[in-house]
Chain A
Amino acid sequence: MKKGLVISCLLATVALLSFKTNKIQFAIPKGWPKPVYDFGKNPLSLNKVELGRMLFYDPVLSRDSTTSCASCHSPFNAFTHVDHDLSHGINDRIGKRNSPALMNLAWSSSFMWDGSINHLDVQSLAPITNPLEMDESLPNVIRKLQSNTRYPNLFYKAYGDSVITGQHLLQALSQFMLTLVSKNAKYDSVMRKQAAFTEQESKGYALYKQHCASCHTEPLFTNYSFENNGLYVDNTLNDSGRMAITKLPIDSLKFKVPTLRNLKYSYPYMHDGRFKHLGQVLNHYAMGIQRTPTLATQLQKGVFMNNEEKFYLISFLATLNDKTFVSNTAYGFPKKYFEQSEGL
């Protein structure tokens, strides 16, 4: 009896302590800019990140419990869709854009190819309610989670409150996504002076700096601006990009500059997934650029590259693939929760 009491007291203290030490400090890789995300308003903790991870992989977020965030953002593909050009949602409904790879989101100032979303915390509302994606409503998701056997407890652990709110749900999803930092590619080792580029990679790096760096800027390999990189308009989609949001003609055909990190895993490329191989991307820049009025000035003259140069550039781009990112078990499917499912 007494022993039991002592042990439970001890356990309670440990639990309390671990609640306190639960905080995680978001590490900014050396030489990277300050994140845009305001961690002060949503401080990271282990339990919140874990809750977010579970939500990210749980199809309960969709109307018929078939589609999770990970259905379109798979960890093995740097959190984009495997092999699909356009996203593939509930009941095989096809969306109008390619799902972007998810990484280094703490530095992003807007979300979606057209920047329609202004903050990571409200990003998840879009797929949850989009009829072509998860086709659910937030109040209904909350009802389902509240009556679930596991979630009230997990929300309690994360927030000290088992009553689930939209704010907590959305912020937990953000917490998990914020931890998806890719910073261990060969390029990063070279920058940290722990490795060196081969001769080909060095030549490719120089070409990258000359032709690509103005938009795909180091170290995140995007400057998060909206640009028209000269793609021809696919008239089955007629996607005007950023203009749909700002209604300004100068934004016609502009899309958010995507990162060049982890391209090995995130094919196909561009907002509509039109290119399957990097070779096609380079051919586009070298000879496929369409001269529309909003074409970026840097691309007006085209990017001349011979085959050798393309080869160097592709060698360099390969140094941006981060194997530790796609194989990180902390980002993967949270098996332990889903296995012990009904019991908890």
Chain B
Amino acid sequence: MLLRPLLLICLFCCAQVVVAQHLNLRFVPTWGGKPVDAEKYYKLPSGDSLQITNFRCYISAISLSVNGKIVYREPNSYHLLDMAEPTTLQLRLSNIPKYDAIHFSIGVDSIMSVSGAHGGDLDPEKGMYWAWQSGYINFKVEGNSNLCNTRRNEFQFHIGGYAGKDNALVQVTLRNVDAPNAMTIEIPLDKWLQQIDLRQQHTIMSPSAEAVQLAKQLAATLNIQQQ
């Protein structure tokens, strides 16, 4: 008598387990389709050369949806990717439902930018918080090139800003996916950097219209593959 409902419950649970899945997200900063090597000098079409020594980036607010309806939001969804620490480039979402689109943001939302000192990946000791004017740096691209007439030919892009029209947080959505268990998100820094005239523009250290533009350009270059 009692066994039947129990069995049913068991079956139901199993079905749940089968439906629930996981998703491995792998972020890869690339040059010419290959992972960026911080030691390497890359040739530009113009014959000039360039080295990328640092790439760090916040990925936040990861969510999944079905037919435009959000079915999953990752709790406490703030991740700092650091090219120099490969483990930070891999994220895993466990126990997620089926989905047909994935959404995330590049950067940190305004709520976190105005509510003091946070821990974990958001800890200001990570060097991704502006000291002299409050707010998170959404992403950093640093390196050097003979094109930059600066100290040690350095370029430094610290892109951030949360307020008003200087809000540099950008959303990325990938639709029509078939709920894969793994995705690779390529960040083609070659494409992004080649849209910038490094002779003119090599240093951004505060919120501005240019920063917003560069954030949008980074989002537009992303190349997402399902596996």
By a beta-carbon cutoff of 8 Å, the part of chain A in contact with chain B is 38, 41-42, 116-122, 125-126, 128-130, 137-139, 142, 165-171, 174, 245
Across the interface, B134 reaches (CB within 8 A) one of A119, A139, A166, A174, namely: A119
Q: Establish whether residues A119 and B127, one from each chain, have CB atoms under 8 Å apart when the complex forms.
A: no
* Minimal Cβ-Cβ distance residue in A for B114: A118
Q: Establish whether residues A139 and B127, one from each chain, have CB atoms under 8 Å apart when the complex forms.
A: yes
Residues of A within 8 A of B135 (CB): 118
Give 19 A-B pairs besides A122-B124, A166-B125 with Cβ atoms closer than 8 angstroms: A38-B116, A41-B115, A42-B116, A117-B133, A118-B114, A119-B114, A119-B117, A122-B117, A122-B134, A128-B131, A130-B131, A130-B132, A167-B117, A167-B118, A167-B124, A167-B125, A170-B117, A171-B116, A245-B133
Q: Establish whether residues A165 and B134, one from each chain, have CB atoms under 8 Å apart when the complex forms.
A: no
Q: Establish whether residues B123 and A167, one from each chain, have CB atoms under 8 Å apart when the complex forms.
A: yes
A167 to B115, CA, bound (A): 12
A287 to chain B, nearest CB (A): 36
B79 to chain A, nearest CB (A): 17
Interface secondary structure of B, over-half rule: loop
Q: Establish whether residues A138 and B134, one from each chain, have CB atoms under 8 Å apart when the complex forms.
A: no
Residues of B within 8 A of A116 (CB): 132-134
Q: Which of B113, B115, B117 has the most CB of A within 10 A?
A: B117
A42 to B125, CA, bound (A): 18
In the assembled complex, 14 residue pairs joining A and B whose CB atoms fall closer than 8 Å, in A order, are A38-B116, A117-B134, A118-B113, A119-B116, A119-B134, A121-B116, A122-B116, A122-B129, A125-B129, A138-B124, A165-B125, A167-B118, A171-B117, A174-B117
Residues of A within 8 A of B129 (CB): 122, 125
Residues of B within 8 A of A129 (CB): 131-132
A129 to B127, CA, bound (A): 11
Interface size class of B (residues with CB under 8 A): 10 to 19
* Minimal Cβ-Cβ distance residue in B for A42: B116
A128 to B131, CA, bound (A): 9
A168 to B125, CA, bound (A): 10
Across the interface, A38 reaches (CB within 8 A) one of B115, B125, B134, namely: B115
Across the interface, B117 reaches (CB within 8 A) one of A38, A121, A137, namely: A121
List which B115-162 residues lie within 8 A (CB) of chain A.
115-119, 123-127, 129, 131-135
Q: Which of B115, B119, B131, B135 has the most CB of A within 10 A?
A: B131
Q: Which of A38, A122, A171, A245 has the most CB of B within 10 A?
A: A122
Q: Establish whether residues B116 and A165, one from each chain, have CB atoms under 8 Å apart when the complex forms.
A: no
B50 to chain A, nearest CB (A): 27
A268 to chain B, nearest CB (A): 24
